[in-house]
Amino acid sequence: MQKSTITVDITLDANKIPQQIAWNASSSSAEDAQHAKAMMLAFWDGQEKSALRIDLWTKEMMVDEMGDFFYQTLMTMADTYSRATKQTPLVEDIKKFAAEFYKKSRELLEKS
């Protein structure tokens, strides 16, 4: 059995707000840690039937980037749900919502 370790390092400021997010994976070809402005990590606790989440973002994460991040995450979630369940109508609903979300996020940015 093959094993991979993913390490996430968070640098916090004096107020415990993330300043830097860096990660690496033992099975990655990248030698240096990869940097990110935001992250979402979720685990499913089957015994408790609940999701355990860590959502972090740095001060440098701009609102437009957050919109892009959520849009891409929603689309990826739709693809994952499709592969896991083959429930095409629900997958299409998720993708439709993601597209509407993205459009509205862009419209709000233009107004501000």
Decide which of 112 and 87 is more confident: 87
Residues 46 and 79 in one domain: no
> For residues 49 and 31, what is the distance between their CA atoms, to the nearest angstrom?
37
Does the pLDDT at position 28 exceed 90? no
Quickly tell me which residue has 């609102």 as its tokens. 63
Cβ neighbourhood burial of 21 (10 Å; 0-12, 13-18, 19+): buried
Residues 35 and 85 in one domain: no
pLDDT band at 75 (very low <50, low <70, confident <90, very high): very high
pLDDT at 20 exceeding the cut of 90: yes
Q: Please report the pLDDT score of residue 14 as a whole number.
A: 96
Average pLDDT across the chain, whole number = 96
Same domain, residue pair 73 and 52: no
**Per-residue pLDDT at 112:** 86
pLDDT confidence of residue 31 = 83
* Claim to verify: residue 35 and residue 50 sit in the same structural domain: yes
* Residue 31 sits in the same domain as residue 76: no
Domain final residue pick, 38, 59, 80: 59
| Total number of domains constituting the chain | 2
pLDDT at 29: 85
Q: Are residues 79 and 109 in the same domain?
A: yes
What domain range is 53 assigned to?
1-59
